[in-house]
Copies of this chain bind each other. A is one copy, B any other.
Amino acid sequence: MENSCTNALPLTVNSSQKKETVCIFGTGDFGRSLGLKMLQCGYAVVFGSRNPQMSSLLPSGAEVLSYSEAAQKSDVIIVAIHRDHYNFFIDLIEVLHGKILVDVSNNLKINQYPESNAEYLAQLVPGAHVVKAFNTISAWALQSGALDASRQVFVCGNDTNAKHRVMDIVRALGLTPLDQGSLIAAKEIENYPLQLFPMWRFPFCLSAALCVFFFFYCVIRDIIYPYVHKKENHIFRLAISIPNRVFPITALILLALVYLPGVIAAILQLYRGTKYQRFPAWLDHWMLCRKQLGLVALGFAFLHAIYTLVIPIRYYVRWRLRNVTVTQVINKKDDPFSTSSALLGDSYVSLGILGFFLFVLLGITSLPSVSNMVNWREFRFVQSKLGYLTLALCTAHTLVYGGKRFLSSTALRWYLPSAYILALIIPCTVLVVKFILIIPCIDKTLTRIRQGWERNSTSSKSLLLGKSDVSSKVERTWASEI
């Protein structure tokens, strides 16, 4: 629901309502924009400034006073000042006692200072209730009507009442407050607006690298080789044929890489005989971006699907179909129907469609609002069981596709095998190792390790503890899959 104070609607301030006064320290762009918005939403606004006489550009209707005078006008003081200038607060400690100080500042770099700006402010003015808020909102968004992404205001603070006061103001401005707990969360909140898809960087770079490599690999095999050996100009393949070879290969490899870290982690746990040792940092990071890897893979699979479906529309395909028919007529060649070709071709397409369908399902369940609706057991079921089924179907799709091509004599060109053969290495490895891991005797050991059992500890103790503590039966269902 959009709240009352949007720019597009005429403003209806109830005159009988006593206006609440809010004080804003700082008359920079953000302070002015916030002040304007607050005036529009029915608040009285007092600016605090170093040089009240020199302050210009302020929204009409707002008062400008010195810091200490302004502070006395309101319980809530919004600090729209850069952290470097916080030192003047030392003179205001008395005046600010018991007031709510709202820190809206951001930094220029992630983790620029040892402590967050809000915590620093709280140290400077120990008597005040410091609340962190509004830093995720831009001055531009305040003025141009809030976009979706800028609706959310993370709020944190140690004093509950102060926090709730600020959250009410946030709501009154038509924004959505999100309580992030105590002031310790301020650092995270200050880093938040500086991020640019941190979890997507690795999957994106990896897929770009794979794309570039396989693009040139295919250009060599499919354009340069025929040109050199047969003087055939296949340059037109650049637009559709080669992308439609690169994209499915990238998709399949990325999908396999989603499941590879789980397999590695299982092997590591079996080898170590405990789950209480940390994984190496690279494995941790890899596991944390599996979702992003999978979604990038889905993007490539989607492109592959459309590139495949447009094949019959292409000029080249229609031209060839016409000429094959013409040749057939002229040469009076017989063209018997091959049931096995039909079945193999159809199976290959059918496997691909089913794999793509499950892949789309996985993508939909990874939408935040959907994954929030399912419990852990359901999420594991979808992401693990359906995930491996998707990988198996897509690998089978590529194998059956290969099945037809393997038989042709033109497989190797300049000793380079077809690109799809390279694409099969990782998926097949993952599937084989996973198959070994679910052999009952290995699976049983792994499950025990994941329930807290350690190979090197005295087993009597852990059994004893196991009996008196939280049942591991439910854990077992949780732990049965990485």
**What's the Cα separation between A452 and B319 when bound, in Å?**
61
A192 interface residue per 8 A CB criterion: yes
Known contacts: A308-B313, A328-B326, A471-B106. The answer to whether A478 contacts B239 by CB under 8 A is no
Contact A29 B377 (CB under 8 A): no
> Nearest CB to that of A323 among chain B residues?
B335
21 residue pairs of the A-B complex, CB under 8 angstroms, read: A1-B375, A3-B180, A4-B188, A6-B288, A29-B469, A57-B452, A80-B469, A80-B470, A106-B471, A139-B452, A147-B383, A150-B379, A168-B182, A171-B180, A197-B374, A197-B381, A235-B339, A243-B350, A309-B310, A321-B321, A325-B325
Contacts of A285 in B (CB 8 A): 8
Known contacts: A1-B192, A32-B276, A335-B323. The answer to whether A148 contacts B328 by CB under 8 A is no
A407 interface residue per 8 A CB criterion: no
Contact A377 B464 (CB under 8 A): no
Q: Which residue in B4, B148, B338 is a CB contact (below 8 Å) of A366?
A: B148
Contact B469 A31 (CB under 8 A): yes
Contact B193 A376 (CB under 8 A): yes
Contacts of A284 in B (CB 8 A): 7-8, 145
Contacts of A205 in B (CB 8 A): none
A410 interface residue per 8 A CB criterion: no
Contact A149 B470 (CB under 8 A): no
Q: Which residue in B55, B305, B379, B464 is a CB contact (below 8 Å) of A148?
A: B379
Give the secondary structure class of A's interface: helix
Q: Which residue in B115, B141, B185, B345 is a CB contact (below 8 Å) of A3?
A: B185
A451 interface residue per 8 A CB criterion: yes
Contact A457 B57 (CB under 8 A): yes
A445 interface residue per 8 A CB criterion: no
Mask, A460-478, CB within 8 Å of B = 1, is: 0110111011111111001
Contacts of A138 in B (CB 8 A): 376, 475, 478-479
